Amino acid sequence: MRRLFMLAFAAAVFTAPAAATPDLDAFATVADIRDARISPDGRRLATGCNGAGRESVCVFDLSGQARPVLFAPPDRASVSSFYWASDRHVIVDVAFSYREGASDAHTVYRNDRGIALNAETGATATLMHRFTRYLGGINNVVSIDTGNPDSVIIQLTGAPGTLPGTGTRLRSSEEFLSTLYRVSLDTGDERRIERLPPNVYQNVIGADGRPLARVIYRQQQDRYAIENHRGRAVFETQPGGYLPEIWGGMDGGSALAIWIRAGSDAGLHRLDLESSDLSPIPHPDAGVGLFGPLLDDETAQFVGFSGYRNDLPFQTFIDEDLRAVHESVGGALSQAFGDIRVRLTSWSRDRNMFIVEAVHAGRPASYFLFNTDSGELSPLGVEAEALDGVAMGAVEAFSFTASDGLEIPAFLTLPPGKTRADGPFPLVVMPHGGPELRDDARFDWWAQYYAALGYAVLKVNFRGSSGYGVAFRDAGFGEFGGRMIQDIADGAAYLRETGVAREGGYCATGMSYGGYASLMLALLDRDEVRCVVAIGADTDPVEIMVGSLHSQRYWEQYIGPRTMGTQRAAQISPFRRASEIRAPVLLIHGAEDSTVPVGQSRALERAMRGSGRLRYIEMRNIDHYFTTTAARRTLLQESGAFLQQHLPVD
């Protein structure tokens, strides 16, 4: 490989100049560039972008000879992901909200659709557009089929328990029923290829359209099997709440990389599709918290895995050529800018052009284009241009011992320019959602805004979080409203005892499970909680344990059996214990939330109405993820003022 030559660009991306007065709009603005991906022929760049205040997709001609193309989602819809399906087509996965019922008691369903964006003309085509009312994933592209570059193969599946009477293709059934379609990227029209046998949960097809394997899942019996292309079972298990995940093909399609998420064989494995041999895939760095696959976009072959090292994203490549590029680019950027993490987000078919993401703790990510022929590394943009040159709060990883002796990892964000020695600070506790997710040291616009106001922000990766091994995750089972909440309270107590957090209590704020945890802290740690900001929060967990049998099995691991007694259900429910909440509460919920029904917040608002302790904001046309600048501005403005009212910095 030729020696890297760095083009000149602003080193301020990785520096921290003097602090400035917080600019709310700068923090609220959706990302200017994210998840950048290069086309297979290396001629175009697709990125997540800011389209008039909405998370959108922009496509650029790298030669500069064509105008950029913009895809912005319509109202009551948001971009979930995007990827190249051919040299000239980007598939944008869009989540639409679909309502049923009266406006004051409606149910919101999520309808995922794939939209093909022509990078040359800007024209769009909704894939399988004739299936207008299918409630579920209609964007399951199982092969980009490189031999037919103007079409893809989509699998449409009806799961057991599909609701009748909602205009869906399939009614209630004890079996999975699946069909394969070839779908035009130019028109969205589909042509049926094959009706699959019952209970085919996943059809594994190579990028070239060649069948590799099938996953058979009998939900009632909880039986999971992988069959090779000749129909012979090569792997069988009873997965319980965790289905194994197929991460991609290996060795030209003769094997699969599969992640077994529970049990004695938990971990990443190579499954030989002929011999049935299941062998562990070693991951050499014990500090990597395994969480996702790295695939070659063109071949769909497994080339490595992503995880965390020192609490920032990290990649490990098993493909030697990709490993060499990763190490070379990473070394050059680290030498120039210090302790950063480098990710190869995509590469061209000939592996001459690479998109590189550079991540620094607490600061917006930067993107680069690397040309292996010339050795040039060219800047593409910064995640948050409005914050370029603005001081960010330092993010520090640490751990503490919970009250029952378990070691708990956490992150502390301090006000810009401050260290622990400048404390104590007013403390905001911010639990993550999921709950099977994790926080890390990357830039967080929400936490950094609070830090800019003068607060220390604590993020606790409580037991049950992902990224710290199976035993740590499983320690959260049955502790949805118990020890998982106590871990967060113990973290706040640790910071108070060590002089980082100010005496006199803290405020708790979070989204989804993080909002639920914040409300539960007001019950479990009521003497310390000064206020709560809960966004899109579960308020009565037992009531959301619905869906397929597999989904219910998963949630019962964390929450407990759906048939739990009334006393236990009330113990973990902020709604049923509303009269015990003494802290002031700011409750915010998107009216189009299909993940946590808006009725969860409405119920708590009714229960606390007249108490004088709750302010409720319901946001029209907003879903669970707050993917517009306007929604984020409301979140920061309302919650920032609420914090300053109940936990003043001065």
pLDDT tens by residue, 280-305: 988 765 556 667 899 998 888 999 98
Calpha distance 613→97 (Å, rounded): 31
CA distances from 129 to 21, 86, 92, 153, 213 (A): 49, 20, 14, 14, 28
CA distances from 486 to 3, 463, 505, 515 (A): 52, 10, 15, 15
Calpha distance 326→567 (Å, rounded): 54
Residues 13 and 382: beta-carbon distance below 8 Å? yes
What is the separation, in whole angstroms, between the first and last Cα of the chain? 56
3-state secondary structure of 315: strand
pLDDT classification of 585: cutoffs 50, 70, 90: very high
pLDDT classification of 257: cutoffs 50, 70, 90: very high
pLDDT classification of 103: cutoffs 50, 70, 90: low
Chain segment 438-485, per-residue pLDDT in tens? 999 999 999 999 999 999 999 999 999 988 888 999 999 999 999 999
Chain segment 376-434, per-residue pLDDT in tens? 999 999 999 999 889 999 999 999 999 999 999 999 999 999 999 999 999 999 999 99
State the pLDDT at residue 469: 84
Residue 309's beta-bridge partner residues?
312
Could you please report the per-residue DSSP string of 102-151? -TTS-EEEEEEEEEEEETTT--EEETTTT-TT--SB---EEE--TTSTTE
Chain segment 13-28, per-residue pLDDT in tens? 334 443 446 899 999 9
pTM value is 0.91
Long-range contact set of residues 213-220: C-beta below 8 Å, sequence gap at least 24: 213/246, 213/256, 213/273, 215/246, 217/176, 217/243, 217/550, 219/159, 219/160, 219/176, 219/548, 219/549, 219/550, 220/160, 220/174, 220/549
Q: What is the mean pLDDT of residues 435-439?
A: 93
State the pLDDT at residue 164: 33
In terms of Cβ atoms closer than 10 Å to its own Cβ (0-12, 13-18, 19+), residue 65 is exposed
Q: What is the mean pLDDT of residues 251-276?
A: 91
Overall residue count recorded for the chain in this entry: 650
Chain segment 531-563, per-residue pLDDT in tens? 999 999 999 998 877 766 777 888 888 998 877
pLDDT classification of 106: cutoffs 50, 70, 90: low
Question: Residue 253 above 50 pLDDT?
Answer: yes
* pLDDT, the chain, mean: 89
Chain segment 492-525, per-residue pLDDT in tens? 999 999 999 999 999 999 999 999 999 999 999 9
Question: Residue 36 above 70 pLDDT?
Answer: yes
Calpha distance 427→342 (Å, rounded): 32
Instruction: Give residues with Cβ within 8 angstroms of 237, minimum separation 6.
Output: 224, 225, 244, 260, 263, 265
Calpha distance 288→313 (Å, rounded): 9
Chain segment 161-173, per-residue pLDDT in tens? 443 333 333 334 4
Q: What is the mean pLDDT of residues 592-607?
A: 93
State the pLDDT at residue 134: 62
Chain segment 312-327, per-residue pLDDT in tens? 888 999 999 999 999 9
Instruction: Give residues with Cβ within 8 angstroms of 212, minimum separation 6.
Output: 204, 205, 206, 228, 229, 249, 253, 256, 273
More confident residue, 111 or 250: 250
pLDDT classification of 266: cutoffs 50, 70, 90: confident
What is the greatest pairwise CA distance in the chain?
71
Calpha distance 581→55 (Å, rounded): 36
